[in-house]
Structure 1
Amino acid sequence: MRSGSEEIYRNGSILALEPELFKEVSVTRGPSGGFRYSSSASAGTIELTTKEASDFLEDGDTFSFRQKLGYEFNGESPLATSILAFAPTDRFEALLFFGVRTSENREDGNGDEILGTEFEQSSALAKLSYQLDGASRFTFAYQQNQIPERDVNYNVFDPSIDSAFGRVDRDIEDATAYLEYEFNPEDNLLIDLTARLQFKREEVAIDPVSNPFMTDLLEADHLTETWSVVVENTARFQTANIGNELLTGLEVGRRERSSIVEVGTNDGDAPGGTDDYVALFVQNEMQIGERLIVTPAVRFEAQRLTFEDNPPTDGFGNPLVPNGTEVEDTSWTGGISAMYDLTDTFSVFATVAHNENLPIFDDANDEALLGTIEQADTVEAGLSYDGLDVFTRDDSFAAKLTVYQTLISDGRTYSAGMGRFESEIELQGVEFEASYVHPQFYIDLAAAANRGDVTELSDGTEVDDFFEQSTADNIELTLGRRMLDDQLDVFFTIDHSFENDRTDSDSGSTAPSEDYTLYDLGIGYTPNGGALAGTAFRASFENILDEDYRQYGSSRNGEGRNIILSVARTF
């Protein structure tokens, strides 16, 4: 389910996620994989898959319990998670998860405290599945994360500015629940159906501890609740010499957003109301002959924003649209990607895509924004290699080079000051990734560089400025070796970011950054037998040289040296 509330002034969109809840994180770069979920996912899509009972049950097991304990020395951060998995029959399985982690403020490479990095978090997951028959399956899941914060800086982005924004008690809660039905008969390739009823609740409740300017921002209770129904079907069939995998889907939902303050209305800097939306998407992966795959995708999305319970002006005195105002918008987005196998190992690929970003509640103080749809047009192309027995017997080598260009028009995401926005933006970039696996060792390499220029502002002014949100160039190399029948895994990572002076700012997150190199060492030991069978030991040594650095795009220094230890045992 899509996550992320809208803008919360100086807080962004705060999500509370526990990494231990997820068994898989899938990152799809570029726009080609995002039309299934959103019309605006031009940069890429991140999919998180929660753990299941079967991940902890071996053949024949009906019950298992896994306990994990961990500790990070930088920030004095302990972690404890417990997972109970059971499957009393071959049709029913259940997983229960609970975890707690806390941290004091971290320190940077200079030994200085990084304000705003302390936290306390608890997480829970219940996931139950029942197989009705060979084709039908029900799954219910409920996931919750909570982060209570006491007497912390209101300004999350730059906590050092206490006097301007004050301090607050802040409670963050992120809860997701869904009921899913899957129907996949073995004798009918045209039906692979999933229907899901889902609910999401995202809350950031704020109470002031010190409020120097007596602003409502420091007492707002931000709440976003979403109900939606998603139905998808994958049909597999053959037409002439084309193998088709046709995915169709429908999503209907309502999102209610509020930020109630003491006077009973929404905060003027976080206006709210209801968002009723519907989306249809179609994607067909076509295998044409033996070497060519073509995948067209199209998505239609319609929304109706109804503004409710808002004051007449925002916190800066700008008038908001009147309560009861309804704004309706639609978008047609889509793209086509293709991959052609030149040989059994070399392939070329390309994508052309069009994305649109519909207005949000935070545009209520500017009717021009409500009437504008931000658009992005992307072209990407590349070359990939995937081979076995390349340099020696039983090795493998894979590599991928991608170049892309994205043109953003009618931009309303990036402010240019004085009520203007960066309207026309040109982005270009190149990415390279490679992986080599030898029976004795492995090597992973990733590198990326991007550039951006702003050519026009929303008032029509033509400019030639840096797009300051472009990231610094980066290269990362990992060298690893698995030993003792894969029981022991040792890897060393070198992560280098180049200096970035492609900016006109001289302070804050977009100030020029210096180059830096981080060195990390990781060790994992999972015995296959003996008294320690079922136990996993992990040790990580991050930023070994205690480098003092600031990543471009961040207003804070990065974390200094850290040692992370964990042990997990399955019973």
Structure 2
Amino acid sequence: MKSTSHVALAVAGLTVLNTLPTAVTAQEADDVLTLDTIILEESRRGVQTGTATSETIVDQAEIEARQASSMGELLDSIPNVSLINGSTPQGSAVNIRGLGAQAGTYGTDGYVAVVIDGVASGAEEIYRNGSLLSVEPDLFREIKVQRGPGESFRYNSGAMGGTVEAETKDASDFLSDGDTFALRQKFSFESNGDGMLSSTILAFAPSERFDVLAFYGHRKIEDGVDGSGTTREATGFEAPSALLKMNFNLTENSTLTLGHTYTESPETDVPYDAFDPLWSGNLVDRHMKDSTTYLAYKFAPVDSDLVNFEARLFKKREEMKITSSTVSTNLTNTDHQTETVGLRLENVAQFNTGAVGHELTTGVEFKERSRSAILLIGPDAGENDGTAPGGTDESISVYVADEISVTDAFTLTPQLRFEKQTLTSINNQDTLVCITATICIPYTAIPDGTAYTTQSWTGALAGRYELSNGLAVFGTAAYNENLPILDDLRSSTNREKTEKGTTFEAGVSFDGNDVLTGDDHLQAKLTAFKTHIWDGTAYSGINQTDLEGIELELNYASSLFYADFAAAKTRGTINGTSAFFNYTPADTVQLTLGKRFMEDQLDIAIEAKHAFAHDRTSNTGTTGATAASDAWTTYALSVGYTPDHGMFEGTEMRLSVENLFDTTYRPYLTNPNRNAKGRNIKFSLAKTF
């Protein structure tokens, strides 16, 4: 029975993946199809058919249903999104359409932007330790994943892979009309790793003009096991977290919001290499902290469509202190600190020019990012680690986007961004960086105060045209430049060089009611893309990268059942040859079938995911995250009961079983020394008072 279901799912997925891309490769031109996602309340996840870009929204209901242990576990169900190093918060990263952190080496390469409450996240490269996904998932009310650069220009010039935007919870999420106080307590348990979570939320609104939300959570998970019972080394973690958000309605037209989030992860006696625990026997203590603070002022007069203004002042701090009492090397005794402060001014104006409607977004951002990596031992103590040069990254960005409604059916959205950046070297001296006691690399420092200035003009044009009967076609053309990061100060060629890329997307969507029965809703979106990158600096030895692929999302909802289906396929080559680009994800198909009972109070769903074997890699060995991977299929069962009346009103009870058949498997871009987690039973109980 088990093998039959595996074959059935694999055949269904292979049919989709091997049929659809044929249409893509038949188009020798650069226009390829692009996929989006919708929000359907009847299903777990809808498809965004109303946009000309490829995006997926994971809303509050799905976040609760998934019971994620890390931010990464909220993302790996999205087509063409894969995780580097699995879902652990330490040493993890996100890969979109093959672009993202280099598997098993660094924490960021600029191709994927992570934005939390409007503030860009992501530390500079930290050798075998960088992390983009360390923030507690229970803090979020919504996560939007933008595949490709279509709408990334508010935050980034070089996010060719995509953008992850996360929004934290708000007091209004827990206060009904007329309520002044709400308390929500949640307890969660997971069997694989004996994981525990306790989170407490206090929402308070003493008047209509003021509300506050306070959150405190504490998550602790021990090392788990894979499907064969083998311990997954160094996957346990502890993560206290907090959120404070206050909203002040100053006048009828203006609001002031103060927000602060905090997550930390202290670890003791863990391998230095967070990606591959067997790469080095060096044991260290590693303490990560991530905090974001912002103050936002909004002014939107009810009698004017021309003014919807926000000023956001923010500060982001990412810390990682690594120490070892037994290993006296530079890498194992360094205090990494990255701090970003900035101000963004933005306005959205709505107006008409004749019969044409406009929604014009304009903005300017001033930002300074500073980084230090202070050595704690040795003759160079007090100076920056040569593998992580210190300095500042000062930038000014101006962006504009105009959503033009040419007709009721035809929309064009041009976008433009200008960014000017200056990197300045600070506290960098010639150092000898020792990876082990016998392997040391000399680094020649750039004199303090030496500055390098780079600038770029980037932009995109997106269009969408609604045909009859719920059909629409859409497309995007984008040009990006990935500006240098502070790590590039150690490179004589990269510190003044931008990576350049073009992306073309095209697709078709459908959104219709009463398709098969009299009360159903069907949504579908098919997107194809083609990305060309040149003047490469992020990947050693790769000057040119070419990517193309296809994504399909379907959603069907009726009174009988709901279903979500997704499939993705990506191919990549380098340097104008047929040589593989090693970081493209495995082809995947995913199907969720669910049914709601008792007036939507009881939700039962089963989810199946299949990844095809992946051997499109130049790594012919059996070690490293880019080693070839076998095909695998996993199943998950979830049950959620949220009574809306009676003595249990306000209670949420959820039970799920992940990797239902305890399959032993290794997702591509995960190190062979660390298979995926085996069967995991999760249970959560929450009550709002």
Indicate the TM-score class for this superposition, using the shorter chain for normalisation.
Answer: over 0.9
Number of the residue aligned with 1:418? none
Q: Does 1:357 align with 2:477?
A: no
The alignment of Structure 1 onto Structure 2 pairs a total of residues equal to: 556
Q: Aligned match of 1:439 in 544, 551, 559?
A: 559
Confirm or deny: 8 A CA contact 2:525 2:554 kept in the other structure: yes
SS at match of 1:364: helix
After the TM superposition, which residues 141-290 of structure 1 pair with which residues of structure 2 at under 5 Å, given as runs? Answer: 141-163=259-281, 166-211=282-327, 214-262=328-376, 263-290=381-408
**RMSD of Structure 2 on Structure 1 (CA):** 1.1
SS at match of 2:668: coil
Q: Does 1:11 align with 2:129?
A: yes
Relative contact order, higher structure (CA 8 A, sep 6+):
2
How far 1:15 sits from its partner (Å)? 4.5
Number of the residue aligned with 1:405? 530
SS at match of 1:348: strand
Confirm or deny: 8 A CA contact 2:637 2:656 kept in the other structure: yes
The TM-score normalised by the length of structure 1 is: 0.96
After the TM superposition, which residues 316-327 of structure 1 pair with which residues of structure 2 at under 5 Å, given as runs? Answer: 316-327=441-452
How far 1:366 sits from its partner (Å)? 1.6
CA distance in 2, matches of 1:13, 1:272: 18
User: Deviations along 1:135-184, whole A, 9 cap, x unmatched?
Assistant: 00000011111111111111001012333xx1111111001111110000
Q: Does 1:379 align with 2:504?
A: yes
Confirm or deny: 8 A CA contact 2:461 2:478 kept in the other structure: yes
Tell me which amino acid in the other structure corresponds to 1:423: N
Number of the residue aligned with 2:655? 539
User: Deviations along 1:52-86, whole A, 9 cap, x unmatched?
Assistant: 11100111110010000000000000110000001
Q: Does 1:497 align with 2:611?
A: yes
How far 1:314 sits from its partner (Å)? 6.0
Query: In structure 2, do the counterparts of structure 1 residues 314 and 393 end up closer, same or farther at CA, with 3 Å as the change threshold?
Result: farther
How far 1:323 sits from its partner (Å)? 2.2
Query: In structure 2, do the counterparts of structure 1 residues 476 and 15 end up closer, same or farther at CA, with 3 Å as the change threshold?
Result: closer
How far 1:132 sits from its partner (Å)? 1.2
How far 1:260 sits from its partner (Å)? 0.7
Tell me which amino acid in the other structure corresponds to 1:414: Y
Confirm or deny: 8 A CA contact 2:386 2:443 kept in the other structure: no
Confirm or deny: 8 A CA contact 2:429 2:446 kept in the other structure: no
User: Deviations along 1:60-116, whole A, 9 cap, x unmatched?
Assistant: 110010000000000000110000001010110000000001010011111001112
Confirm or deny: 8 A CA contact 1:63 1:86 kept in the other structure: yes
CA distance in 1, matches of 2:137, 2:290: 14
Q: Does 1:554 align with 2:670?
A: yes
CA distance in 1, matches of 2:412, 2:132: 38
Q: Aligned match of 2:181 in 50, 63, 83?
A: 63
SS at match of 1:509: coil
CA distance in 2, matches of 1:136, 1:364: 43
Tell me which amino acid in the other structure corresponds to 2:467: L
Tell me which amino acid in the other structure corresponds to 1:13: S
Number of the residue aligned with 2:116? none
Query: In structure 2, do the counterparts of structure 1 residues 472 and 314 end up closer, same or farther at CA, with 3 Å as the change threshold?
Result: farther
Q: Aligned match of 1:523 in 634, 639, 649?
A: 639
Number of the residue aligned with 1:459? none
Tell me which amino acid in the other structure corresponds to 1:26: K
Confirm or deny: 8 A CA contact 1:314 1:365 kept in the other structure: no
The TM-score normalised by the length of structure 2 is: 0.80
Tell me which amino acid in the other structure corresponds to 2:454: D
User: Deviations along 1:351-383, whole A, 9 cap, x unmatched?
Assistant: 000111111121122211113211111001001
SS at match of 2:121: coil
Query: In structure 2, do the counterparts of structure 1 residues 247 and 93 end up closer, same or farther at CA, with 3 Å as the change threshold?
Result: same
Number of the residue aligned with 1:80? 198
How far 1:313 sits from its partner (Å)? 4.4
Number of the residue aligned with 2:684? 566
CA distance in 1, matches of 2:227, 2:258: 45
4+ long deviations beyond 3 Å: none
How far 1:515 sits from its partner (Å)? 0.2
Tell me which amino acid in the other structure corresponds to 2:599: D
Confirm or deny: 8 A CA contact 1:384 1:400 kept in the other structure: yes
Number of the residue aligned with 1:366? 491
CA distance in 2, matches of 1:253, 1:361: 14
Tell me which amino acid in the other structure corresponds to 2:154: R
Unmatched 5+ stretches in structure 2: 1-118, 434-440
Q: Aligned match of 2:456 in 331, 340, 346?
A: 331
Q: Does 1:133 align with 2:247?
A: no
Unmatched 5+ stretches in structure 1: 416-420, 457-462
Confirm or deny: 8 A CA contact 1:106 1:117 kept in the other structure: yes
Q: Aligned match of 2:579 in 439, 447, 465?
A: 465
Number of the residue aligned with 2:588? 474
How high is the sequence identity, in percent, across the aligned residues? Answer: 45
CA distance in 2, matches of 1:55, 1:314: 53
How far 1:14 sits from its partner (Å)? 5.0
